[in-house]
Structure 1
Amino acid sequence: MKENIVFIHGLTGSRRAFKKQMDYFSHKYNTYAYDLLGHGEDRGEITDFSLDGLVAQLEELYEREGIEKAHLCSISYGCYPSTIFASWYKEKVSSLCYIGGHYNSDSPLKLVLQHFRDNRYSDYPDWLRRYSKDLFPKSGVVDPYALISTRLYYKYGLELHEDVLKKAIEHRLDYDLKADLKQVDVPVLWIMGDHDNLFKSSITDLDEVIPHAFYKEIPHTGHAANMFRPFAFRRMYAEFLQGKQEI
């Protein structure tokens, strides 16, 4: 019987974020993806974008598809519903994979989030333009990864109701995700892009939070490392799922 993998996209994204991975892994696994609240058919509408709602949404997927246990693979903000779900329903999670994952810690990322929680600017497009740029700062004079991430985040962020991104900031500042991560006892693969410096600043104590996590960086990538270099990510994740710890 095939094992299950549930892919969870990040803010401004969609279930299509993992299309290449789903196509590849579907040969050996049952693969699933879904649109987070406010990102699918309700995109642009007012929605109850709460952590309880996001976790309930994942629980509903399990029930609808008859999933008893699954590997959870999430990107960026998707680490919040996946981790909370894993802490509530430990028996339902086989492993966790984080791409561009982050958590509440004193870091430059936290300072950016605090700034854009407290400063609204003239309107949502102006706020989002500044926020997108600060989330993905250039790591050098030439940094195409930051430029691409900034443009995509702004483009698709404009399609969301403004409450979604603003509530997500509150979640990341107010919810103690680190406490949940410390309780994780399933295998963990944590992948970051080598140019994803701002988000990497929040996980400097990862070896203390999850001592058994396998941490890997994919060269020449930005925040969404699986999208910049899908084949490199696919290899790492496949070896992780197969239990090859030398990744």
Structure 2
Amino acid sequence: MKEKIVFVHGLTGKKRAFHKEIDYFSQAYHTYAYDLLGHGEDRGKPVEFILENLVKQLEVLFDQEGIEKAHICSLSYGCYPATIFANKWKDKVLSLCYIGGHYNSPSPLFDVFQHYWDASNENYSKWLKNYSKDLFPKEGAVDPYSLVSSKVYYKYGLELDKGILKEAIGHRLFYDLRSDLKNIDVPVLWVMGDHDFLYKSSIADLKKVIPHVQYKEIPHAGHAANLFRPNSFKKIYEEFLNGIQLAKSEKIPV
């Protein structure tokens, strides 16, 4: 029987962010993706963008699709509902994969979050434009990865209800995701783009938080590393999943 993978996209995105992975992994797995609250077909609509509701989305998906257990792969902010769900429903999660994941720690990334939380009453378009630039700062004279990430974040962020990105900053500042990550005992793959400098600043103690984590960096990639280098990500994720299957088979007596 095929195992299942649930893909969780990040802020300003939509479920199609994983369409290449879904096409590829659907050969060996049942794959699922969905739109976060206020995204996808609900883009622009006001929603109650709180963590409880975001976790509820996953619970509803598992229930409606009859998913008893699944691997969960999340992009960026998607690490929050994915991790909280995994701690709440430990028997439902086979593994966790984080792409551009981050958590609450003193870092330049969280300095940016704090600044834009304090400045959240500014004109939304101006606030978002500056926030998008500071989230993906240039490293050197030529840095196409930050430029693309910043433009995409600003473009699609404008289409969201203006409360969503501001609420999400509050989640990163005030929810202790690190404590939840310390309780994760399933296999964990953490993937970052090598040019994702700001987000990498928040995971300096990752090995202490998750001692059994498998950490991988994808060369020539920005924050959403799977979108910049889909083939590289698919290879890394497939090797991770195959390793889990191999470990399981070695424990089964012949």
Asked if these proteins are the same fold (TM beyond 0.5), I'd say: yes
Cα deviation for residue 244 of structure 1 reads 7.0
Compute the TM-score of the two structures, normalised by the length of structure 2. Answer: 0.95
**Change in CA separation of 1:122 and 1:166 when aligned onto 2, cut-off 3 Å:** closer
- The residue aligned with 2:92 is 92
3-state SS of paired residue (1:47): coil
RMSD: 1.0
The 3-state SS of whatever aligns with 2:72 is strand
- Asked whether the 8 Å contact 2:187–2:244 carries over to 1, the reply is no
Please give the alpha-carbon distance, in whole angstroms, between the structure 2 residues aligned to 1:207 and 1:122.
Answer: 38
Query: Pairwise mapping of residues 158-177 of structure 1 onto structure 2 (< 5 A)?
Result: 158-177=158-177
Extract unaligned runs of 5+ from structure 2: 246-254
CA distance in structure 2 between the aligned counterparts of 1:9 and 1:163, rounded to whole angstroms: 18
TM-score, with normalisation over the residues of structure 1?
0.98
- SS of 1:131 mapped into structure 2: helix
Which residue of structure 1 aligns with residue 248 of structure 2? none
Are positions 1:141 and 2:118 aligned together?
no
Equivalent residue, structure 1, for 2:251: none
Name the structure 2 match of 1:109: 109
Shift of the 86–44 alpha-carbon distance from structure 1 to 2, 3 Å rule, reads same
Letter of the 2:163 counterpart: D
d(CA) in 2 for partners of 1:75, 1:26: 19
Q: Residue 157 of structure 1 aligns with which residue?
A: 157
User: 1:182 maps to which residue?
Assistant: 182
Q: Deviations over 1:61-88 (max 9, x none)?
A: 0001000000000000000000000000
**1:240 is aligned with what amino acid?**
F
Cα distance between partner residues in 2 of 1:164 and 1:5? 26
User: Which sits farther off after the overlay, 38-47 or 230-239?
Assistant: 38-47
The alpha-carbon deviation at position 120 of structure 1 amounts to: 3.0
Cα distance in 2, alignment partners of residues 172 and 6 from structure 1: 22
How many pairs align?
245
Deviation at 1:40, TM superposition (A): 2.2
For 1:89-137, what per-residue CA distance to the aligned partner results, in whole angstroms no more than 9, with x for missing partners?
0000000000000000000001000000001364100000000000000
| Equivalent AA in structure 1 for residue 19 of structure 2 | K
The 2-side partners of 1:243 and 1:59 are apart by: 27
Cα distance in 1 between the residues matched to 2:68 and 2:244? 24
Q: State how 1:62-101 maps to structure 2 within 5 Å.
A: 62-101=62-101
Which residues of structure 1 form unaligned runs of 5+?
Answer: none
CA distance in 2, matches of 1:219, 1:200: 14
Structure 1: which 4+ aligned runs deviate by more than 3 Å?
none
Residue 193 (structure 2) pairs with residue 209 (structure 1): no
Identity %: 67
The aligned residue for residue 252 of structure 2 is none
> Whole-Å Cα distance in 1 between the matches of residues 25 and 94 of structure 2?
16
Q: Which residue of 1 aligns with 2:45?
A: 45
Distance (whole Å) between structure 2 residues aligned to residue 64 and residue 164 of structure 1: 26
Q: Which amino acid aligns with 1:52?
A: E
Contact 2:5 2:70 in 1 (8 A): yes
